[in-house]
């Protein structure tokens, strides 16, 4: 096959792209959390709340939809579960510690929904 053939490209570039997107999103989120919680920026706080609740709603919809859950599970995680879980639950604990309870609930919903999407034990169809 020629090099320009899309089927001949290794899948590692797609995996690296997903890892880069995950890292970029988490770095942007960490900056927003730092600005909102530590620096007391009202605008960053509103962006943080809106973004976390939007992602929580979207993740819950994927977790509740059988077709979307199967598609997401087939694609797999961008990073290993231990890294994603550590980042997510650290955010939840950080927000709770600093008194951002309502926003921490959104972050917790994201983690619980991701567990439901990517858990190895899937429900068997009857």
Helices marked H in the chain: 12-33, 42-64, 66-75, 81-97, 101-118
| Torsion (CA) 22, 33, 46, 19 in degrees, nearest 10 | 0
CB of 58 closer than 8 Å to CB of 109? no
Average pLDDT over residues 44-49: 92
Q: Determine the Cα–Cα distance for residues 18 and 79; give it in Å rounded to an integer.
A: 8
pLDDT at 13 over 70: no
Domain boundaries, the chain: 12-118
CB of 48 closer than 8 Å to CB of 95? no
Average pLDDT over residues 40-45: 92
The single-letter DSSP state of residue 38 is I
Q: Determine the Cα–Cα distance for residues 123 and 125; give it in Å rounded to an integer.
A: 6
Instruction: Give the model's pLDDT for residue 111.
Output: 92
51: Cβ contacts below 8 Å, ≥ 6 apart: 29, 32
Q: Determine the Cα–Cα distance for residues 42 and 38; give it in Å rounded to an integer.
A: 11
Residues 69-124: tens digit of each pLDDT: 888 888 888 888 888 889 999 999 999 999 999 999 999 999 999 888 888 655 44
Can you give the pTM of this predicted structure? Answer: 0.77
């Amino acid at each position: 096959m020629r090099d320009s053939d899309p089927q001949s490209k290794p899948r590692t570039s797609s995996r690296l792209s997903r890892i880069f997107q995950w890292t970029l999103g988490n770095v942007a989120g960490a900056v927003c959390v730092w600005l909102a919680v530590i620096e007391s920026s009202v605008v960053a706080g509103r962006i943080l709340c809106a973004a976390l609740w939007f992602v929580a709603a979207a993740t819950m919809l994927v977790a509740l939809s059988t077709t979307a859950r199967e598609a997401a599970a087939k694609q797999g995680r961008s990073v290993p579960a231990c890294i994603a879980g550590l980042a997510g639950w650290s955010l939840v604990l950080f927000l709770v510690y600093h008194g951002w309870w309502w926003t921490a609930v959104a972050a917790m919903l994201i983690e619980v929904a991701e567990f439901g999407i990517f858990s190895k034990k899937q429900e068997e169809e009857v």
